């Protein structure tokens, strides 16, 4: 059998990322002539399960009260047991790119005796090996890795994959009870950042600021611009490291991977590691004092000017236009 | 308490894109005139460990460990100049790019060797990923090799009562966790763990601190499999993407005209989204 499994966290539901992971899984399963199974770690809403059943040949839900609240050790143990419950002979186990999936992927691969890989933007089989395409050297290169052991446990740049198509008839849904050990690292508190509007990853328009802003206050100025055009706010690592904005605003290699219709980079130089996070934007605009800044090689239009001069005026004009 | 920090030496990730070249035979970046540096997240890990020691009132011994070429001694010296107590280098032949599994196995064997001699490490800190290949699998695989629980994307460790309090970043906010030693964390950057600049005096002192060298043979891992390090994955292909685009710069005699042009272009796109 040449089946493919997609492993999702029940608490995250069937969001755009899970849809993309399932889409990638279906395409891979088709290329192998096998089935697509979805392994669900912990309880998920009825709606999510129904949606998963429409795209998968089989859905296996791992049930245990402890899984209501994500704990890495227990989620990992659950994934391992679900893998066995689903059949245990998967060519690949695919995950999305939320923090939790990222952290359990390599450990799951190790427990299953497979290969692990991160942040794949494209996958395909070559004989018994899975080939995974991803960026390297902070976005300066593209590499294709050959994963030599099965299962290939890979977390994907999931939103970049087409959602899985609905099947003619829904897949089987089974629930298995899991036995879990108490965790030796226990998450005891969560401070979910106040999120106005949509997630950065799902935003249509983003206004990002960088080190050139010189401090936290100018981000208020950028907020006015963002509000005028219904945009979310992001930042470069330099701005996050300086403590001007929270870390989950960071766009780039080690921040959010965004793909809006419009990305406006203000006082951001365009280092490859930043470009890596926003390179899938449809249109990029830049405001920067330095005409030689690399960002100008990666944007459709821009202005070489001090942001202090541009932003208030631009905000006024856009407010007038959008009325 | 004892803390171990793993370090990786990499090609300077700040090399501008225009100077970046691929060696197609080696399937890796050409070194060119670039420096070798400590991976930034490993330096964030060193800084995090130092702050943990400070918060614990000093009674914490910090060891830095690297699997790398002999040039990686520089990274370990720098860590000791940042006031890490001691270091260990497991020497690797040049010219290889071992996969995360091989690196995990070597680091685990070295950690177990160091623990035989000096007692267990309560915490092992690893950078979340490297600035060169950035595969980010070493921490997780090392945790499994050691059979220890792990948490990713941690930004600080605080001493607690028999346990350690961890703060970590997730894609939706911050999580706080309690960890019973021994455990492993991967470290990410935040505003507080920006690596400190070593003081001149500490740089001098670093040459007097112990730097132990081990070979793969010392760890009974001197096999072709470990040296080539391609049992779970290898690079099949690498290339530089051609993705530069033509940028249209706002023109006009006055600032108002130029900003007006910019506003129109932005409005055009925003209006098309509907
Ligand atoms: C392993 C690794 C991972 C990384 N991950 C990320 C990541 O996820 N995201 C990320 O962003 N970076 C990341 N980086 C860092 C990255 O290499 C750059 O250092 C960072 O993106 C620079 O941020 P910046 O553009 O804001 O600052 P700078 O590069 O300092 O650029 C500031 C820009 O502001 C302009 N400017 C100054 N004053 C003004 C003004 N008054 N008006 C208009 N423009 C002005 C300047 O001309 C300059 O172009 C990573 C690096 C490494 C090594």
Instruction: Please report the pLDDT score of residue A17 as a whole number.
Output: 94
**Residue B242 in contact with residue B136, Cβ under 8 Å?**
no
> How many residues in total does chain A contain?
323
From the alpha carbon of A272, which atom of ligand 1 is closest? 17
**Atom 4 in ligand 1: which residue has the minimum CA distance?**
A273
* Residues in chain B closer than 8 A to A184 (CB atoms): 149, 179-180, 183
pLDDT 10s digits, B214-246: 999 999 999 989 999 999 999 999 999 987 788
Per-residue confidence (pLDDT) for residue A196, from 0 to 100: 65
Which ipTM score applies to this complex?
0.95
Domain A200-322 has CATH 3.30.460.80: no
Q: Is the pLDDT of residue A299 over 90?
A: yes
CA neighbours within 13 Å on the CB side: how many for A250? 25
Would the pLDDT of B25 be above 70? yes
Q: How confident is the model at residue A281 (pLDDT cuts 50, 70, 90)?
A: very high
Q: At B180, list the tokens.
A: 């019973």
Q: Number of residue pairs across A and B with CB atoms under 8 Å?
A: 282
Give the pLDDT confidence score for residue A322 in this predicted structure.
85
CB-CB under 8 Å, B153 with A119? no
Check if the beta carbon of residue A271 is closer than 8 Å to that of residue A249.
no
Residue A238: the pLDDT is 97
Q: Which residues of A touch B234 (CB under 8 A)?
A: 145-146, 148
Q: Between residues 48 and 67 of chain B, which touch chain A (CB distance below 8 Å)?
A: none
Within 136-195 of B, beta carbons closer than 8 Å to A belong to 136-137, 139-141, 143-145, 149-153, 155, 166, 169-180, 183, 186, 188-192, 194
CA A30 from centre of chain: 24
A170–chain B nearest CA distance, Å: 32
Closest CA to A287 of B227, B32, B247: B247
- Determine whether the shortest distance from the Cβ of A135 to ligand 1 is under 6 A: no
Q: Which of B87, B40, B43 is nearest to B61 (CA)?
A: B87
* Residue identifier of the C-alpha nearest atom 2 of ligand 1: B131
Residues of B in contact with A147 (CB under 8 A): 232-233
Q: What percent of chain B has pLDDT over 70?
A: 99
pLDDT-derived band at A1, boundaries 50, 70, 90? low
Residues of chain A in contact with residue B152, where contact means CB-CB under 8 angstroms, are: 72, 99, 102-103
Q: What is the mean pLDDT of residues B145-155?
A: 98
**Is A73 within 8 Å of A42 (Cβ atoms)?**
no
Chain-chain contact of B155 with A247 (C-beta, under 8 angstroms): yes
d(CA B95, CA B37): 17
State the angle between helix axes of A72-85 and A99-111 in degrees (0 to 180), rounded to the nearest 10: 60
Q: Model-level pTM?
A: 0.94
Helices A218-228 and A307-322, axial angle in degrees (round to 10): 20
Task: Look up residue A34 and give its two tokens.
Answer: 């096998």
Q: Which atom of ligand 1 is nearest to the CA of A306?
A: 42
Parallel, antiparallel, or unpaired for β B164-170 and B150-159? antiparallel
pLDDT tens digits, one per residue of B114-134: 999 999 999 999 999 999 999
Q: What is the pLDDT of residue B95?
A: 63
State the average pLDDT over residues B133-139: 97
User: Under the phi-then-psi rule, with left for phi > 0, alpha for psi from -120 to 50, and beta for the rest, what region is B83?
Assistant: left
Contact B133, A137 (CB under 8 A): yes
Residue of B nearest to A131 (CA): B236
Tell me which CATH code domain A4-177 carries. 3.40.50.620
Report the distance separating Cα B83 and Cα B50, nearest Å: 8
pLDDT in tens, A70-80: 999 999 999 99
d(CA B153, CA B166): 10
Place of tokens 């020497």: B91
- Mean pLDDT over residues A185-196, rounded? 84
pLDDT score at A195: 61
Per-domain boundaries in chain A: 4-177, 200-322
CA distance B62 to B66: 13
Q: How far away is chain A from the Cα of B208, in angstroms, using its nearest Cα? A: 33
Residues B101-121 have a mean pLDDT of 97
Q: Residue for token digits 């490297």? A: B130
Taking CA–CA distances from B195, the nearest residue in chain A reads A241
Alpha carbons B266 and B259: distance in angstroms, whole number: 10
Domains A4-177 and A200-322 share a fold: yes
Indicate if ligand 1 lies below 6 Å from the C-beta of A302: no
> How many other C-beta atoms lie within 10 A of the C-beta of residue A54?
17
B165-185 pLDDT, tens digit each:
999 999 888 999 999 999 999
Average pLDDT for A121-145: 97
As a whole number, the mean pLDDT across chain B is: 95
Reading the block at residue B148, the tokens are 């220890």
Confirm if B264 and B250 have CB atoms less than 8 A apart. Answer: no
CA A228 – ligand 1 centroid, Å:
25
What is the distance in angstroms between the Cα of B75 and the nearest Cα belonging to chain A? 19
CB B48 within 8 A of CB B17: no
Is A141 in contact with B145 (Cβ distance < 8 A)?
A: no
Q: What percent of chain B has pLDDT over 90?
A: 89
Q: What angle do CA A134, A149, A131 make, to 5 degrees?
A: 30
pLDDT (average), residues B260-264: 97
- Please list every residue in chain A whose beta carbon sits closer than 8 Å to the beta carbon of residue B182: none
In the prediction, which pLDDT does A6 show? 98
Q: Give the pLDDT band (50/70/90) at residue B96.
A: confident
Establish whether residue A274 lines the binding site of ligand 1, counting it when its CB lies within 6 angstroms of any ligand atom.
Answer: yes
- Which residues lie below 8 Å from residue B253, measured CB to CB, with a gap of 6+? none
pLDDT band at A145 (very low <50, low <70, confident <90, very high): very high
* Minimal Cβ distance to B235: which of A143, A189, A322: A143
Say how far apart CA A277 and CA A298 lie, in whole Å: 12
- The pLDDT of B77-90, averaged and rounded, is 98
> Which tokens go with B146?
């050691």
Q: How confident is the model at residue B162, as a pLDDT?
A: 86
CB A10 within 8 Å of CB A41: yes
Confidence class for position A323, pLDDT limits 50, 70, 90: confident
**What is the model's pLDDT at position B230?**
92
Give yes or no for residue A194 having a pLDDT over 70.
no
Distance (Å) from CA A237 to ligand 1 centroid? 7
Token pair for A68: 């209501």
pLDDT over 90 at A92, yes or no: yes
For residue range A38-55, what is the model confidence (pLDDT) as tens digits?
999 999 999 999 999 999
pLDDT surpasses 80 at A64: yes
The β-bridge partners of A55 are none
Distance CA A102, CA A120 (A): 12
Q: What DSSP assignment string belongs to A97-165?
A: SSHHHHHHHHHHHHHTT-EEEEEESEEEEETTEEEEEEEEGGGTEEEEEEE-SSSEEEEE-GGGSPPPP
Position A161 confidence tier, pLDDT thresholds 50, 70, 90: very high
**pLDDT at A193 exceeding the cut of 80:** no
Q: Whose CA is nearest to atom 39 of ligand 1?
A: A212
Tell me phi and psi for residue B180, to 5 degrees. Answer: -90, 125
DSSP B227: I
């Amino acid at each position: 059998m040449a089946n493919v499994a997609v492993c999702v966290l029940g608490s995250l539901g069937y969001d755009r990322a899970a849809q993309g992971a399932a889409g990638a899984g279906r395409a891979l399963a088709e290329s192998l002539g096998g089935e697509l199974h979805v392994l669900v770690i912990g309880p998920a809403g009825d709606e999510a399960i129904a949606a998963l059943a429409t795209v998968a040949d089989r859905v296996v839900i791992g049930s245990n009260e402890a899984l209501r609240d994500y704990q890495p050790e227990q989620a990992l143990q659950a994934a391992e047991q679900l893998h066995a419950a689903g059949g245990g002979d998967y060519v690949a186990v695919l995950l999305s790119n939320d923090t939790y999936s990222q952290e359990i992927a390599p450990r799951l691969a190790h427990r299953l005796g497979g290969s692990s890989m991160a942040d794949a933007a494209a996958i395909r089989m070559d004989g018994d090996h899975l080939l995974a395409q991803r960026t390297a050297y902070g976005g300066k290169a593209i590499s294709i890795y050959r994963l030599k052991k099965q299962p290939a446990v890979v977390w994907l740049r999931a939103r970049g994959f087409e959602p899985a198509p609905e099947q003619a008839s829904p897949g089987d849904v089974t629930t298995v009870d899991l036995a879990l050990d108490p965790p030796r690292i226990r998450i005891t508190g969560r401070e979910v950042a106040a999120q106005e509007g949509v997630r950065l990853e799902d935003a249509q328009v983003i206004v990002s600021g960088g080190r050139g802003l010189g401090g936290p206050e100018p981000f208020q100025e950028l907020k006015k611009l963002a509000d005028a055009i219904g945009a979310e706010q992001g930042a470069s690592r330099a701005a996050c490291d300086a403590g001007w904005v929270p870390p989950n605003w960071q766009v780039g290699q080690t921040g959010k991977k965004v793909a809006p219709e419009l990305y406006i980079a203000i006082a951001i130089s365009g280092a490859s590691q930043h470009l890596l996070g926003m390179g899938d934007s449809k249109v990029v605009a830049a405001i920067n004092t330095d005409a030689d800044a690399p960002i100008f090689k990666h944007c459709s239009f821009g202005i070489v000017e001090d942001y202090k001069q541009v932003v208030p005026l631009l905000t006024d004009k856009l407010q007038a236009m959008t009325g | 308490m004892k803390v171990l920090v793993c370090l990786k030496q990499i090609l300077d990730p700040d090399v501008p894109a225009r100077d970046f070249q691929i060696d197609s035979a080696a399937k890796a970046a050409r070194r060119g005139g670039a420096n070798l540096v400590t991976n930034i997240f490993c330096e964030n890990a060193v800084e995090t460990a130092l702050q943990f020691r400070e918060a614990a009132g000093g009674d914490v011994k910090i060891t830095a460990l690297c699997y790398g070429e002999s040039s990686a001694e520089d990274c370990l010296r720098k860590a000791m100049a940042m006031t890490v107590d001691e270091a260990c280098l497991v020497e690797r032949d040049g010219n290889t790019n071992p996969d995360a599994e091989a690196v995990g196995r070597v680091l685990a064997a070295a950690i177990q060797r160091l623990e035989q001699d000096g007692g267990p490490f309560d915490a092992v800190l690893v950078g979340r990923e490297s600035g060169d290949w950035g595969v980010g699998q070493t921490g997780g695989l090392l945790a499994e090799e050691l059979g220890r629980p792990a948490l990713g994307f941690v930004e600080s460790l605080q001493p607690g009562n028999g346990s350690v309090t961890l703060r970590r970043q997730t894609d939706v906010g911050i999580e706080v966790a309690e960890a019973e030693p021994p455990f492993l964390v991967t470290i990410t950057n935040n505003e507080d763990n920006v690596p400190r600049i070593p003081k001149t005096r500490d740089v001098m002192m670093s040459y007097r601190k112990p730097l132990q060298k081990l070979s793969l043979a010392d760890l009974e891992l001197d096999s072709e499999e470990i040296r080539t390090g391609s049992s779970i994955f290898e690079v099949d292909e690498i290339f530089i993407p051609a993705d530069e685009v033509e940028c249209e710069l706002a023109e006009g005699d006055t600032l108002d005209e130029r900003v007006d042009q910019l506003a129109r272009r932005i409005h055009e796109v925003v209006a098309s989204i509907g």
